[in-house]
Amino acid sequence: MVQICIIYDKIRFEEKTLFRKIEEKGLLSNLIDGKSLTFDTNSRKDDFQLGDIILQREVSHTRGLHITACLESLGLNVVNTFSVNEVCGNKLLTSLALVKYNVPTPHTSFAFSSESANRLMESLNFPLVVKPVVGSWGRGVYQINDKRAAEIWIDSREEIGSPFSRIYYIQERIDRPPRDIRCIVVGESIVASVYRHAAENEWITNVAMGGKTEEGPMNSELQEITLKAAEAVGNGILGIDLMEDKERGYLVHEINNTVEFRGASLVSKNDIAGSMVDYLVSECRK
């Protein structure tokens, strides 16, 4: 019987639902706290009784990435793979992957020092949207309306000790309805499409920021762009976020590698967690 291991560092709605779905399907489950794991250069696959396939669900991107590297080096099958985690966990790498695969995405500029960020932002048209390259839930995402606000944002980044704060990710602001679309992709299928509406007096649509969900569209254009975006980062279990530009149509702006689906599950008719478990079973039989 297939055993599915979920590596977590915090049990959220998603991990709980996936765990119950594994049990419901009569499969073996193994819940492992990633914070409890240790490895060394002599570690072997047989030292770990984890299961036939591992679902990486760490909320900490850095920890998840490093644990995945250790697990893969032992020859264990991890979803999502290290490569997918690395690209999706970093917005700059995601943007580059999308461009490489000709996936429509907002125009985005990058700078690597406060001086070059100032010069760059002066040359762009305000308003702009700035985002941290690593991080999620809408934290640190701001709309910058003018040069003065840009200077303040750049100065504030200097105060942060993290090396990621010296990577400046600056995006055009898309003229869009106050919503975006989250498509949950499992393998080569879209299992859910939901609109995420920004909360009142808020422009960010993340559910973590109070955004509300509603069943989303599922047309051929959306399917094509979404699946191409998934392919661009290496496929797996992904949350593809798209905006609707009034002139250019769908633009992919983010891809999540440990996708949260609580909001989507409230409005989707599909069994999102069940599809994920079925995919894991099919992957470990390959």
Could you say which of 118, 164, 174, 223 contacts other proteins (CB under 8 A)? 164
Residue ranges of alpha helices (H) inside 74-190 are: 82-88, 91-100, 114-123, 147-159
From residue 111 to residue 150, the character string flagging contacts with other proteins as x (rule: CB under 8 A) and all else as - is ---------------------x-xxxx-x-----------
CB of 66 to other proteins, least distance (A): 11
CB of 61 to other proteins, least distance (A): 4
E-strand ranges in 105-257 read 108-111, 128-131, 142-144, 168-172, 179-186, 189-197, 212-215, 237-245, 249-256
Cis peptide before 127 (omega within 30 of 0): yes
Terminal CA-CA length for the chain: 15
Place of tokens 């679902």: 55
Question: Which of these ranges, 7-15, 42-50, 170-178, 210-218, lies near other proteins under the rule CB under 8 A?
Answer: 7-15
CB of 262 to other proteins, least distance (A): 11
| Structural tokens at position 226 | 């979404």
Does 180 participate in binding other proteins (rule CB under 8 A)? no
User: Looking at beta carbons only, is 106 or 239 nearer to other proteins?
Assistant: 239
Find out whether 138 and 199 touch, Cβ atoms under 8 Å.
no
CB of 212 to other proteins, least distance (A): 17
Could you say which of 27, 30, 31, 281 contacts other proteins (CB under 8 A)? 31
User: Looking at beta carbons only, is 136 or 268 nearer to other proteins?
Assistant: 136
Buried residues in 218-233 as b, exposed as e (16+ CB within 10 A): eeeebbebbbbbbebb
User: Looking at beta carbons only, is 9 or 245 nearer to other proteins?
Assistant: 9
Which residues in 240-269 contact other proteins (CB under 8 A)?
A: 256-260
CB of 151 to other proteins, least distance (A): 22
Place of tokens 């934290």: 139
From residue 43 to residue 72, the character string flagging contacts with other proteins as x (rule: CB under 8 A) and all else as - is ----------------xxxx----------
The residue count for the chain: 286
Q: What is the distance, to the nearest Å, from the Cα of residue 196 to the centroid of all Cα atoms in its chain?
A: 15
Q: Kindly give, in sequence order, each residue whose CB lies less than 8 Å from that of residue 148, ignoring residues fewer than 6 positions away.
A: none
Site residues for other proteins per CB under 8 A? 8-11, 15-16, 19, 31, 33, 35, 59-62, 89, 132, 134-137, 139, 162, 164, 239, 256-260
